Structure 1
Amino acid sequence: MRWQLTLLCVLATATPASALTMSFDFGNNARLTNLPGWNDVFHASGSPTDTLFVVNDSNGNPVPGVTLVETDPFYIVGQPSQGGSESPSGAAAGFPVDATDDYYFGHTGAFGGGDDNPTGGFKLTGLNQSLAYDFTFFSSRTGVNDNRETAFSVTGANNGSGVTATSNNNSEVLPINGIMPDTNGEISIVVSAGANNDNGNGFYYINLMQVSAIPEPATGLLLALAGGFAAFGRRHR
Structure 2
Amino acid sequence: MGIGDKILVRPIFEPVSEPRRSYTWKSSDSSLVDIFVNHDKSSIITALRNGSTTVEFSSNDGAVSTSFEIHVETVGGDDGILKVLAIGNSFSEDAVENNLYELARAEGVTMVIGNLYIGGASLERHWNNAQSNATAYNYRKISTDGNKTRTPGASIEMAILDENWDYISFQQVSGHSGEYDTYITPLTGLLEYAKEKATNTETGYILHQTWAYAQNSTHADFPRYDRDQEQMYQAIMETVSRIENEFEFDLVIPSGTAIQNGRNTLVGDYFNRDGYHLDMGIGRYTAACTWFEALTGINVTGNAYAPESVSGIQKEIAQHSAHAAILQPYAVTVLEDYQPEEEEEEEVPSGAAIYINLGTRTAPVWNTLDNHVEGTSIEDLKNSDDEFTGISVTITQRFNGINTGGPNTTDTGNWTIPGEVSSQSYFGNAKGVWENMEITQSQLTLSGLDTGKTYKFCFFGARSGVSDNRETRYTVSGANEEAVSLQTAGNSSETACTDEISPDAQGKIVIDITAGDNNNNGNGFFYLNAMQIIPVEE
TM-score category, normalised to shorter length: 0.7 to 0.9
Paired AA for residue 60 in structure 1: D
What is the CA deviation profile of residues 199-224 of structure 1, one whole-angstrom value per residue up to 9, with x for unaligned ones?
A: 111000000000011133xxxxxxxx
Aligned residue for 1:215, secondary structure, equals coil
1:190 maps onto 2:512 in alignment: yes
1:75 maps onto 2:400 in alignment: yes
| 1:226 counterpart residue number | none
Aligned residues: 189
Q: Cα offset for 1:52?
A: 1.3
The partner residue of 2:456 within 134, 147, 154 is: 134
| Aligned partners of 1:156 and 1:182 also within 8 Å | yes
State the distance in 2 between where 1:103 and 1:90 align: 16
1:57 maps onto 2:373 in alignment: no
State the distance in 1 between where 2:450 and 2:414 align: 27
State the distance in 1 between where 2:467 and 2:363 align: 32
47-56 vs 186-195, greater mean Cα deviation? 47-56
| Uncovered stretches (5+) of structure 1, i.e. residues with no partner | 1-16, 217-237
| 2:441 counterpart residue number | 119
| 1:4 counterpart residue number | none
RMSD: 1.8
Give the TM-score of the pair, scaled to structure 2.
0.34
Q: Cα offset for 1:48?
A: 5.2
State the distance in 2 between where 1:152 and 1:195 align: 12
| 1:41 counterpart residue number | 369
Paired AA for residue 39 in structure 1: N
1:24 maps onto 2:353 in alignment: no
Q: Cα offset for 1:60?
A: 1.8
Paired AA for residue 24 in structure 1: I
Paired AA for residue 67 in structure 1: S
State the distance in 2 between where 1:187 and 1:93 align: 22
Aligned residue for 2:500, secondary structure, equals strand
Name segments (4+ residues, structure 1) moved above 6 Å.
none
Q: How do 1:59-208 and structure 2 match up within 5 A?
A: 59-64=385-390, 66-76=391-401, 80-91=402-413, 94-108=416-430, 109-114=432-437, 116-208=438-530
Aligned residue for 2:445, secondary structure, equals strand
What is the CA deviation profile of residues 21-58 of structure 1, one whole-angstrom value per residue up to 9, with x for unaligned ones?
A: 1100002x2xx1320x21001228xx555221121111
What is the CA deviation profile of residues 155-199 of structure 1, one whole-angstrom value per residue up to 9, with x for unaligned ones?
A: 000011111010100100101120000000001000000111111
| Aligned partners of 2:363 and 2:418 also within 8 Å | no
| Aligned partners of 2:363 and 2:421 also within 8 Å | no
Q: Cα offset for 1:81?
A: 2.4
| Uncovered stretches (5+) of structure 2, i.e. residues with no partner | 1-348
Q: Cα offset for 1:150?
A: 0.5
| 2:132 counterpart residue number | none
Rate the CA distance shift 1:128–1:90 in 2: closer, same or farther, 3 A.
closer
| Aligned partners of 1:92 and 1:171 also within 8 Å | no
Q: Report sequence identity in percent.
A: 31
1:209 maps onto 2:537 in alignment: no
| Aligned partners of 1:88 and 1:100 also within 8 Å | yes
Which structure has more RCO (C-alpha within 8 Å, separation ≥ 6)? Answer: 1
What is the CA deviation profile of residues 56-88 of structure 1, one whole-angstrom value per residue up to 9, with x for unaligned ones?
A: 111222112x11011111114xxx121112120
Rate the CA distance shift 1:49–1:38 in 2: closer, same or farther, 3 A.
farther
| Aligned partners of 1:92 and 1:170 also within 8 Å | no
50-59 vs 136-145, greater mean Cα deviation? 50-59
Rate the CA distance shift 1:132–1:158 in 2: closer, same or farther, 3 A.
same
| 1:219 counterpart residue number | none
Higher helix share: 2
